[in-house]
Every structure is written in structure tokens, then in C-alpha cells.
A = this chain, B = another copy of it.
Amino acid sequence: MAQKPSIPKGTRDFSPVEVSKRNYIMSIMRSHFEKFGYQPIETPTFENSETLMGKYGEEGDRLIFKILNSGDYLEKISEEELAEKNTKKITSKISEKALRYDLTVPFARYVVQHQNEIEFPFKRYQIQPVWRADRPQKGRFREFYQCDADVVGSTSLWQEVELVQLYDSVFATLGLNGVTIKINNRKILSGIAEVIGASDKLIDFTVALDKLDKIGEEGVKKEMLEKGIAETALEKVQPLFHFSGSIEEKLDKLSAMLSSSEEGMKGIEELRFICENVMNLGLQKANLDLDVTLARGLNYYTGAIFEVSAPEGVAMGSIGGGGRYDDLTGIFDPKSKLSGVGISFGLDRIYLVLEELNLFPETVSVSTEVLFFNLGESQALEAMKAITVLRKNGVKAEMYPDAAKEDKQFKHAQRRAIPYIVKGIEGELFSVKHLVTGEAFMVSVEDLIGRLK
């Protein structure tokens, strides 16, 4: 191979420092997921195509990576069919498996497939990569991790309360102060649609309202009118254009506005329960806000909708999102209409935010703590004896493998940012130096353990 090897576009190699930082984030998520009672599951990298196809819309189907059947996959296809060059038809014959596109559909499949072994309500978390044949661009990859926590099998709103707390706990532990957990409810959006007399224009309405910051009240109204929303309808929801204040104030405004919509009032009642209890229990570092424009995956969620935005001043989209979907499992079993609610953490974006705010602890990327120089075979065995003891005591230690020039070994320690070097042995004592402070001392193995632990 003449050219330099490379990796497919949209994929990434992760260096030791990157893996350590990613593992740091994921281990914090994992520990909080488990403290909240969520249990880990893992599903296969590829699913049967029929499990995935048709679940993400036509665009989704196109973005799913398909795996070519093994063996002579063309054998069963007639020459006429081949000549037709109907890609879609041929794909279904030469490919029966596809890479996971998200974690939600495999989770629904898992729940239906294992429903007799599962004790409901089932709180599960899942941290695994997914793949999408999207056009790669800054911050968007073809292979990326999703980190999801969902509960299935209960409609209790305490779960929504708990999921807000879970977001708060994870971000607080990551040192990320001032994230805003935005919450909305699909039923409120439906109520608005009812009130403006246009259930079919709900998306146009929320899309336009979302631009209030940028184009102002007049601009938004203009766009709404253009989309066919009546002037009289806009009057009914006029308070939305000046929608500020505390969550309670917002809920009161919504109550006045949506009093004629049963569904809207139900949504307000749900939101009130969630927000009041979250406030009673208290958040550590995050802000909770009601955002009536929030509509992620509108066709998907049926109750609460969540989205987390990074602290102010950090230019980053949402770093998490989720919501309630009343029928998670119906796609695989019409008899099993289990309600689910869950949230997702955006690993890549959280990574970028922590990097930008310099929030990774320095210790995360410290690998080896002590490098013993290799001073020739006679001393190497003594060094390895000490290293063996250090490792048994939990210290990350190693010896430079070759008896190279001292200068070379010194540079190796520097380049790898190893803090301590051992550059001499005298009887039971080791000559240790700290590469940053320059501090040098003679010490026994036992004392070295004490210093490093």
C-alpha cells in the first residue's frame, strides 16, 4: 500500500487522552444512572433490517448503513432484476442486516423480545455507538455514542421529576454549572393548536415562534400569517409573544390561554406536577425553565419534552434531550403498548463544552505515574522488582524497555507527561525525580508507594 492509510470519513480514531476523557464522562453518567436505579443493557451492533427499516422515516431509511450478505449474495437474483437496477429492491435481497441507527428502536425491540424476563417498570440505560450515513460536518459524525436512560412500563410523572434530577446530578458532577433544562409538554402544543384552530399547523407555528429572539414579534407574526394561521388565532395566543417570568407565571398564563382545551389543560397539570416537585426537591446546579417552543421529535413524544442547553456563553446546541412516548413498544407488538420516558446525553458535545471550559480534571489524562529508567540488565531486574511491588499497590509504574541513553529515556518520560522518574538504584533506595517541580529524593519502595497513593 503506497498511500498513507486512512479511516472512512465521519469516523474517528481516539487517542489515549481522548479515550480517557470520554471514559471520564461516561463513567460519571454510568454511576449516576445506577444510583438512580437504571440498569445497563447492550444490544448487537447490527439488527435485522426489518427491525430498523421504516422506523425513522424515509430519510432515516436512507441513512441506515446496510451490511452486505455473506457468500454469493447475487446468486438468487435473476438477471432481469439486476438489469432493472432498482437499488431499493436489490438492497432488500442482498442485505439482511443493518447497523444500529439509534438506541431507542433496539431498546423497544429488546423489551418486546424479552418481555417475559423483564420486571416492569424497567429502568434501563445504554451507552453504545450508533451509525448514520449523514454528510459528515463539524461536530456531526457517522459513528457516535448515544447515552440513554429510559423507563418503560409506568406512566407515573415521578419519572419525569427524576429524569430532571438525573440531568442535574450528572452535569453538577461534571462541574458544568448553569446548564438549563428546558421542559415542555406535547399536550400543551396540541392545546395551542386547538386554540388557534389549526391542529395541522402546529409545526409551522412552533418553528416560527422559535425565531422570536431573532426576528422579533412582528417577524414571527408575519411568518405565521404567511403559513396560513389566521389573525384572530394569533390574538388568542398573544401572551406567547411576551412569554417570560417564572415557571409558575408561565403556567398561569398558559392556563388562561388554553382554558378551552382539555388536552392543553392536562399538559399544564402534568408540567405543574413535574416542576413543583423538582423545585421542592431542589436542583444542585442546573436551571429549570419552561420553553413552550420546545418541540423536538414532535411526532414522537406524547407528554413531557426535555432539552438541555449548555451554560450561557458556550456556543453549542443542545447537550441532551428526551421526553415521554406513550407507545414505545407498539411498533413490535401491537398488544404491548408500554409507555416510555427517557433522556439522552450528547457525549460529543458535552466533551467539547468541558474542553472549552477547561473542566476535565488534570488527573484524567495522567497515565503512568513513575517511569524507571533502564540502566542495564543488572539493574533492570531490581527495577522490575520494585515496579512489581508498586503495581500490586495500585501504582501505575513501568520501566523503559531498553537500556537506551539516559537522555532518550528522559525525553520519553517528558513526552508522555509521566510525573516521576527513577534514575538510579542504590541498595534498597531509589533516586526519584519529579519532572515538573524538579524535586529529587532518595526513597525506599514502601515510601514511594506512600508518596504516590
| Interface positions of A (Cβ within 8 A of B) | 1, 4-8, 11-16, 19-20, 23, 32, 34-37, 39-48, 50-51, 62-63, 65-68, 70-75, 79, 82-83, 85, 87, 90-91, 94-97, 99, 109-110, 112-114, 117, 119, 121, 123-124, 129, 131, 133, 143, 151, 154-156, 158-159, 161-162, 165, 169, 277, 280-282, 331-333, 367-368, 374, 380-381, 384-385, 388, 391-392, 394-399, 401-402, 412, 415-416
Q: Which residue of B lies closest to A46 (CB)?
A: B8
Is the Cβ of A6 less than 8 Å from the Cβ of B113? yes
Is the Cβ of A154 less than 8 Å from the Cβ of B42? no
Is the Cβ of A158 less than 8 Å from the Cβ of B384? yes
Q: Which residue of B lies closest to A40 (CB)?
A: B19
A23, A67, A97, A112 pick with most chain B CB within 10 angstroms: A67
A12, A82, A114 pick with most chain B CB within 10 angstroms: A82
Is the Cβ of B110 less than 8 Å from the Cβ of A48? no
A258 CB, nearest partner CB in chain B, Å: 24
Number of copies: 2
The contact of A37 among B48, B66, B162, B368, by CB within 8 Å, is: B368
A341 CB, nearest partner CB in chain B, Å: 10
Docked CA distance A416–B368 (Å): 40
The contact of A36 among B1, B169, B391, by CB within 8 Å, is: B391
Is the Cβ of A398 less than 8 Å from the Cβ of B4? no
| Contact flag A412-B123 (CB < 8 Å), given A367-B39, A384-B158 | no
Is the Cβ of A13 less than 8 Å from the Cβ of B110? yes
Is the Cβ of B70 less than 8 Å from the Cβ of A68? no
User: What are 19 A-B contacts defined by CB distance under 8 Å?
Assistant: A1-B50, A5-B333, A7-B43, A7-B51, A7-B113, A8-B48, A8-B96, A14-B43, A35-B395, A37-B368, A62-B70, A62-B71, A66-B67, A67-B67, A79-B85, A82-B85, A154-B402, A162-B384, A280-B385
| Contact flag A381-B280 (CB < 8 Å), given A332-B1, A402-B156 | yes
Is the Cβ of A79 less than 8 Å from the Cβ of B68? no
Docked CA distance A151–B396 (Å): 16
Q: Which residue of B lies closest to A371 (CB)?
A: B37
Is the Cβ of A19 less than 8 Å from the Cβ of B36? no
Is the Cβ of B42 less than 8 Å from the Cβ of A113? no
Docked CA distance A63–B70 (Å): 8
Cβ contacts under 8 Å, A374 to chain B: 156, 158
| Contact flag A16-B39 (CB < 8 Å), given A67-B65, A68-B66 | yes
Cβ contacts under 8 Å, A73 to chain B: 87
Docked CA distance A392–B35 (Å): 9
Is the Cβ of A16 less than 8 Å from the Cβ of B44? no
| Contact flag A154-B401 (CB < 8 Å), given A44-B143, A97-B8 | yes
Q: Which residue of B lies closest to A389 (CB)?
A: B281
Cβ contacts under 8 Å, A36 to chain B: 391, 396, 398
| Contact flag A129-B45 (CB < 8 Å), given A68-B66, A399-B158 | yes
Docked CA distance A381–B279 (Å): 11
| Contact flag A169-B391 (CB < 8 Å), given A13-B110, A281-B385 | yes
Q: Which residue of B lies closest to A153 (CB)?
A: B401
Is the Cβ of A119 less than 8 Å from the Cβ of B412? yes
Cβ contacts under 8 Å, A388 to chain B: 165, 281-282
| Contact flag A5-B40 (CB < 8 Å), given A397-B35, A401-B154 | no
Cβ contacts under 8 Å, A113 to chain B: 4-7, 13
Is the Cβ of A43 less than 8 Å from the Cβ of B109? no
Q: Which residue of B lies closest to A19 (CB)?
A: B40
Docked CA distance A255–B415 (Å): 42
Docked CA distance A1–B74 (Å): 27
